[in-house]
A and B are shown apart, each in its own frame.
Chain A
């Protein structure tokens, strides 16, 4: 069994890689890349050459190409000690003409070197001449020189999968930066809860120095209480949906307005703040450069996120999804069983009409119908993150439940009726067993097996959220993420979300089969038992 599951997992991993490849081909290869600027306010503010370089910079951000400005190349040379400051200044200054006729001798030499190096590597080198109005540089008209090369699919795939999991380690901070002794410390008394060192409030934590996150393992008062930062999942960094934040984080971080509490900073200051010090990450030089940080922090672990009042996108989606899934099984299974038991009876007829209604009518239509009904009986019809009334969950849950209950009823009824004509039922009947006995002792157990297979899937996919339901009731869930990303051309988010869905689907299939084999002794996945 273990071997079988491992084989399936490996198989699934290959499928996932292929899914990501196809999605990357779709979004990077087929979509018009100039469309990312349609809704970009900054793009329209740029003029002349700046607009061109801005375009390439953004394309690099979105993962289309590798963009190397000439200045970066020179600065890199200077940093490695090849150039002194005077030569650097001279070399980095471009002449106004694009044919190099106005360059200084040093600049010309390095420009040639830059051009040769990058042309040899397959880059396209572009030089833009200065835009001059009445002998003065126009706005954004500085001359520009840069090289760019489209990322190949293989490189993109490699970058994506190699960066997927990040294990925090003490060499995260560059080795040439002096941050004192690197290492991990385990403490029983989390300094955040023991600001003076005398409270002795027990809360184990692992704190790192040299790592990206300061707190690698800690407890707090939020579900699931024990948190870790050792392993971070990077599904793809967003550039327009939530700027600079990873897809996975977008789905899992808390939302809503800030919630303040008494925070004890490492310097000893205590103040009311929304800062979540457990989330501190390293930003080089941030202590010295920002005077605000100096009063609070003692090291460069200053980048903290805010405590917010509300659950994450995935949290909302999952809460609504899981409750509705539970109700689907509680309602759908018995209704399906009863429909089969009293076939052609009143309940069967009503149920069939309901199933027909849900299967035929566009989901949008009946969700709005139920919204209208809900409003009529006084239920809240929109979600408000800051004012959590339990009742506002009712309509989204009901709307999400309606179609699944119908399909549960349909399948359960069909499986039961199929079983009722089989030989073992006839045999049981001929031995004198009562119809009810046959029904509940034999038929129901067997018919439930295909239903069991779907349970892991319905639990896992509760996380992804439901698009229409969340849109109609303004639930701040994860369901609309893919559509938002598509509408804003946020390629990394599209790839990340697609990958997330693929992982869930592979997992739910495997878990479903395993669960089915567990309940049904007749099913075996090892060839020996077959």
Chain B
């Protein structure tokens, strides 16, 4: 088709000559790609994630804001009704009958007459904080050490022996001994769960690093003289982002479960936590009508762990560049 005729313009007006530019001709045109933008785009494309995130926000609000709003005091609140014999072990309907309707009575009362609802949220705060702190420490140490462990053959030899020995010591034993040496406090438990807790993560990262380390493109990188830190950060880390997110996703609910487990066997902390609430209510469970004080913390713990787990899993999936197409 003749454009000059179609648009009624001269050839010069329609087209402008462009100088040949070597530098420009080297540029490859590709759609704009930002890793984290794509991660969130993929994450929010799934409508389930919006629901789950909302739920997570509600849970976090109840655990972290609600106790402060009502001015919960762990020294006073659990014992306010201890002398009111009619207030102990009440199911929700009886509690509402006894005290009149209020949000805090919707889960009934516990063995000391305290509101189960309030205790649960205060306990959730401690449990979630414990899990997040432990996960943060273990993941940081695990990833850093695991990377070194995977890269260096000498370190690998030594660390494998260490892993064989320390990995064979029952973790319950280590936790128990530490809880017995120190007071059963929040930070003791953090210490007990992190002193060897990083090993699993480090070993996992080590194996992943070894698999990727010897791929051809890394070999090429090394031949071209790229230093090892650049290889680690630019070549290997992007491969690991999604598995790291997945691991963290499994770890946080995992620490909440550990805390519940340790409390159940009598090695938990002295503060009110989800595990401690479950431990204290386990005897109440067998008495008909008292089941509420056991099942509500169990249910809340389950909901919290499931929401955290699903969020993490889906975020991990979204962090995998292969899903960004």
Question: Which residues of chain A from 482 to 524 have a CB within 8 Å of any chain B CB?
Answer: 482-483, 486-487, 494, 497-498, 501-502, 505-506
**A residues less than 8 Å from B302 (CB atoms):** 360-362, 365
The answer for the CA separation of A398 and B270 in the assembled complex, in Å, is 33
A498 to B165, CA, bound (A): 11
Is A32 a contact partner of B265 (Cβ separation < 8 A)?
no
Answer whether residue B173 sits at the interface, using C-beta atoms and an 8 A cutoff: yes
The CA of A186 and the CA of B205, in the complex, are separated in Å by: 59
Instruction: Tell yes or no: A202 within 8 A of B by CB.
Output: no
Q: Which residue of B lies closest to A18 (CB)?
A: B165
Inter-chain contacts of A35 with B (CB < 8 A)? 180
Q: State whether the Cβ of A359 lies closer than 8 Å to any Cβ in chain B.
A: yes
Q: How far is the CA of A354 from the CA of B170 in the complex (A)?
A: 28
Per-position binary interface string of chain B over residues 28-65, scored 1 when its CB falls under 8 Å from any chain A CB and 0 otherwise: 00000000000000000000000000000000000000
Determine which of A11, A27, A501 lies in contact with B177 in the assembled complex, contact meaning CB atoms within 8 Å. Answer: A27
Give the interface segment out of B16-24, B66-74, B149-157, B253-261. B253-261
Q: Please, how many angstroms separate the alpha-carbon atoms of A18 and B298 in the complex?
A: 39
- A273 interface hit (Cβ, 8 Å): no
Q: What separation, in Å, do the CA atoms of A467 and B165 have in the docked complex?
A: 22
- From B82-90, B116-124, B237-245, B305-313, the one touching the partner chain is B305-313
Q: How far is the CA of A357 from the CA of B307 in the complex (A)?
A: 10
| A30 interfacial contact with B, CB 8 Å | yes
Which residues on the B side are within 8 Å of A368 (C-beta)?
A: 285, 294, 298
User: With A357-B306, A483-B172, A505-B168 known to touch, is A362 a contact of B256 (CB < 8 Å)?
Assistant: yes
Contact status of A467 and B265, CB under 8 A, knowing A23-B169, A26-B174, A482-B173: yes
CB of A360 within 8 A of CB of B308, answer yes
Closest to B303 in A: A361
Closest A residue to B282 by beta carbon equals A368
Residue pair A364, B169 in contact (C-beta under 8 Å): no
**How many Å lie between the Cα of A125 and that of B165 in the bound state?**
38
Which residues of B lie under 8 Å from residue A467 when comparing CB positions?
Answer: 172, 265
Residues 169-204 (chain B) with a chain A CB within 8 angstroms: 169-170, 172-174, 176-177, 180-181
Contacts of B180 in A (CB 8 A): 31-32, 35, 486
Q: Answer yes or no: B278 CB below 8 A from chain A CBs.
A: yes
Let me know if B278 and A364 touch, CB within 8 A.
yes
B265 A22 Cβ-Cβ under 8 A: no
| Distance, CA A483 to CA B179, complexed state (A) | 13
A-B contact count (CB 8 A): 104
Q: Choose among A18, A362, A486, A498 the residue that contacts B257 (Cβ–Cβ < 8 A).
A: A362
Least distance between A195 CB and chain B CB atoms (Å): 48
B50 to chain A, nearest CB (A): 18
Is B289 an interface residue, CB under 8 A from the partner?
no
Residue contact B298 to A31, C-beta cutoff 8 Å:
no
Measured CA separation A177–B145 after assembly (Å): 62
CA distance A363 to B306 in the complex (A): 12
Known: A15-B165, A32-B180, A467-B265. A364 touches B298 (CB 8 A): yes
Taking a contact as CB atoms closer than 8 A, the residue among A361, A468, A498, A505 that contacts B261 in the complex is: A468
In the complex, which residues of chain A have a beta carbon less than 8 angstroms from the beta carbon of B298?
362, 364-365, 368-369
| Residue interface bits A19-36, CB-to-B below 8 A is 1, else 0 | 100110011001110010
In the bound complex, do residue B301 and residue A365 qualify as a contact, i.e. CB atoms below 8 Å apart?
Answer: yes
Is the pair B181, A502 in contact by a Cβ cutoff of 8 Å?
no
The smallest beta-carbon distance between B122 and chain A, in angstroms, is 18
Bound Cα distance from A191 to B265, whole angstroms: 48
Contact A31 B181 (CB under 8 A): yes
For residue A26, which residues in chain B have a CB less than 8 angstroms away from its CB?
169, 173-174, 177
- The residues in A between 3 and 19 inclusive whose CB is less than 8 angstroms from any CB of B are 11, 15-16, 18-19
Contact with A501, one of B170, B260, B305 (Cβ below 8 angstroms)? B170
* Interface residue ranges of B274-325 to A (CB < 8 Å): 278, 285, 294, 298-299, 301-302, 305-306, 308-310, 313
Asked if A356 is an interface residue, CB under 8 A from chain B, the answer is: yes
| Chain A: interface residue total (CB-CB under 8 A) | 38
- How far is A471 from B266 in the complex, measured between Cα atoms in Å? 12
Docked Cα-Cα span, A323 to B5, in Å, equals 88
What 0/1 readout, one digit per residue, does chain A (337-374) give for beta carbons within 8 Å of chain B?
Answer: 00000000000000000001101111111001100000
Once the chains bind, are A30 and B264 in contact (CB under 8 Å)? no
Interface residues on B, range: 35 or more
Give the complex CA separation of A487 and B175 in angstroms. 12
A360 to B169 Cα, complex, angstroms: 25
Also in contact, A31 and B177, with CB within 8 A (given A360-B305, A505-B168): yes
Give the CA-CA distance A27 to B278 in the complex, in Å: 29
Decide yes or no whether B106 CB sits under 8 A from chain A.
no
Q: Judging by beta carbons under 8 Å apart, are B265 and A362 in contact?
A: no
Nearest CB of B to A154, in Å: 18
Residues of B near A497 (CB, < 8 A) are 170
A-chain residues with CB within 8 Å of residue B176 when the two chains form the complex: 483, 486
Give the complex CA separation of A304 and B256 in angstroms: 48
Whether, in the assembled complex, B25 has its beta carbon less than 8 Å from a beta carbon of chain A, the answer is: no
CB of A15 within 8 A of CB of B257, answer no
Contacts of B264 in A (CB 8 A): 364, 468, 471
Q: Find out whether the CB atom of B260 lies under 8 angstroms from the CB atom of A364.
A: yes
Report B14 CB to chain A, min CB distance, Å.
50
B166 part of interface (Cβ distance < 8 Å)? yes
Shortest C-beta distance, A475 to chain B (Å), equals 15
> Residue A486 contacts which of B165, B173, B253, B299 (CB distance < 8 angstroms)?
B173
Cα distance A424–B84 in the bound complex, in angstroms: 74
Which residue of chain A has its CB nearest to the CB of B175?
A: A486
Q: Which of A30, A356, A363, A486 contacts B310 (CB under 8 A)?
A: A356
Q: Cβ of B250: which chain A residues have Cβ within 8 Å of it?
A: 359
**B164 close to A (CB within 8 Å):** yes
Bound complex: CA A362 to CA B260 (Å): 7
Q: Which of B161, B299, B302 has the most CB of A within 10 A?
A: B302
**A26→B179 CA distance, assembly (Å):** 12
A-chain residues with CB within 8 Å of residue B278 when the two chains form the complex? 364
**CB-based contact A30/B168 at 8 Å:** no
**Which of A356, A363, A364 gathers most chain B CB within 10 Å?**
A364
In the complex, the answer to whether B172 meets A482 with C-beta atoms within 8 Å is yes
How far apart are the CA atoms of A356 and B181 in the complex, in Å?
Answer: 36
CB-CB under 8 A from B253, the residues of chain A are: 359-360
Instruction: Tell me whether A360 and B306 are in contact in the complex, defined as CB-CB below 8 angstroms, given that A482-B173, A487-B266 are known contacts.
Output: yes
Q: How far apart sit A26 and B260, CA to CA, in the bound complex (Å)?
A: 24
Q: A19-B165, A23-B169, A486-B176 are known contacts. Are A364 and B261 too (CB-CB below 8 A)?
A: yes
A438 CB to closest chain B CB (Å) equals: 23
Chain A's nearest CB lies how many Å from the CB of B233?
Answer: 27
Q: CB-CB < 8 A to A501: which residues of B?
A: 168, 170
Measured in the bound complex, the distance between the Cα atoms of B301 and A178 in whole Å is: 68
Residues of A within 8 A of B306 (CB): 356-357, 360-361
A-B contact pairs, 24 of them (CB 8 A): A32-B181, A35-B180, A356-B306, A356-B309, A356-B310, A356-B313, A357-B306, A360-B306, A360-B309, A362-B257, A362-B302, A363-B257, A364-B260, A364-B261, A365-B299, A365-B302, A368-B285, A369-B298, A471-B265, A483-B172, A487-B266, A494-B173, A502-B169, A506-B168
16 additional A-B pairs beyond A360-B305, A486-B172, beta carbons within 8 Å, are A15-B165, A15-B168, A22-B169, A23-B169, A356-B306, A356-B310, A356-B313, A362-B298, A362-B301, A364-B257, A365-B301, A365-B302, A468-B264, A483-B172, A486-B177, A502-B168
> Which 9 A-B pairs give the minimum distances between C-beta atoms?
A360-B309, A362-B257, A18-B165, A486-B176, A362-B260, A502-B168, A361-B302, A360-B305, A15-B164
Interface residue ranges, A against B (CB under 8 Å): 11, 15-16, 18-19, 22-23, 26-27, 30-32, 35, 356-357, 359-365, 368-369, 467-468, 471, 482-483, 486-487, 494, 497-498, 501-502, 505-506
